[in-house]
Amino acid sequence: MTPPDQLTETLRQSRQLHLLAFWDTLSTEGRSRLASQLEGLDWNQISDCRQRAAQRREQQEPSAPIDLSSAHTPPCHQLGEATDAATAARARGHEALAAGTVGAILVAGGQGTRLGFDAPKGTFPIGPLSHATLFEILLGKLAAVRRRHGKPVPLAIMTSTATDAATRAFLESNQHCGLNADDVFIFCQGTLPAIADDADCLLLDAPDHVAVAPDGHGGMLGALAASGGLAWFGERGCQTIVSFQVDNPLAQPLDAEFLGQHLLTAADFSTQVIPKLHPEERVGVVVERDGVTEVVEYSDLPAALASERRDDGRLRFDAGSIAIHAFDRRFLERTAAAADSLPLHLAHKKVPHLDATGTVIEPTEPNAFKFERFIFDLMPLANRVTLIEVDPAESFAPLKNPAGSSSDSPELVQQALSDYARRHLAAAGISVAPEVTVELDAASILDDTDLVQLADSGKLPGNRIDQPLIVRAG
Residues forming contacts to ligand UTP in the complex (CB under 6 A) are: 107-114, 121, 158, 160, 189, 214-217, 219, 245-247, 372, 400
* Min separation Cβ 471 and ligand UTP, Å: 27
Cβ distance to ligand UTP smaller for residue 108 or 274: 108
CA angle 295, 297, 301 (to 5 degrees): 105
- Minimum Å gap between C-beta 71 and ligand UTP is 24
Q: Which long-range contacts (CB under 8 A, 24 or more apart) does 119-122 make?
A: 119/166, 120/159, 120/162, 120/163, 120/166, 120/167, 120/170, 120/246, 121/163, 121/246, 121/247, 121/399, 122/163, 122/167, 122/170, 122/246
Name the closest residue to ligand UTP (Cβ). Answer: 110
We find the least distance from the C-beta atom of residue 335 to ligand UTP, in angstroms, to be 18
CB of 121 to ligand UTP, least distance (A): 6
SS3 169: helix
Instruction: Please list, residue by residue across 301-310, b when 16 or more beta carbons sit within 10 angstroms of its beta carbon and e when fewer do.
Output: beeebbeeee
394 vs 408, which CB is nearer to ligand UTP?
408
Taking the complex as a whole, the smallest distance from the CB of residue 466 to ligand UTP amounts, in Å, to 36
Q: Cα–Cα distances in Å, from 21 out to 84, 91, 203, 208? A: 68, 63, 11, 10
Residue 233 to residue 327: CA distance in whole angstroms: 12
Cβ closest to ligand UTP, residue 243 vs residue 386:
243
* Cα–Cα distance, 369 to 261 (Å, whole number): 39
Q: In the complex with ligand UTP, which residue's Cβ is closer, 153 or 162? A: 162
Cβ 157 to ligand UTP shortest distance, Å:
9
Check if the beta carbon of residue 347 is closer than 8 Å to that of residue 173. no
Q: In the complex with ligand UTP, which residue's Cβ is closer, 83 or 113? A: 113
Q: Which is nearer to ligand UTP, 11 or 41 (CB)?
A: 41
Find the shortest distance in angstroms from Cβ 401 to ligand UTP.
Answer: 8
Type and span of the H or E element at 364: none
| Residue from 432, 469, 471, 430 nearest 452 by CA | 430
Q: Among the residues of 82-218, which ranges form H helices? A: 84-99, 134-149, 164-173
The answer to whether 431 and 471 are in contact (CB under 8 A) is no
Cβ nearer to ligand UTP, comparing 68 with 158: 158
How many Å apart are CA 310 and CA 323, to the nearest integer?
25
CB of 47 to ligand UTP, least distance (A): 21
Give the nearest distance from C-beta 22 to ligand UTP in angstroms. 28
CB of 348 to ligand UTP, least distance (A): 12
**Cβ distance to ligand UTP smaller for residue 152 or 219:** 219
Torsion angles phi and psi, residue 75, rounded to 5:
-60, 145
DSSP 3-state of 465: strand
Partners of 371 in the beta sheet? 346
Q: Which is nearer to ligand UTP, 215 or 318 (CB)?
A: 215
Of 189 and 271, the one with the shorter C-beta distance to ligand UTP is 189
Q: How far apart are CA 238 and CA 2, in angstroms?
A: 50
Which stretches of 111-173 are DSSP H helices? 134-149, 164-173
Helix extents (H) in 210-345:
220-227, 229-235, 256-264, 303-306, 329-335
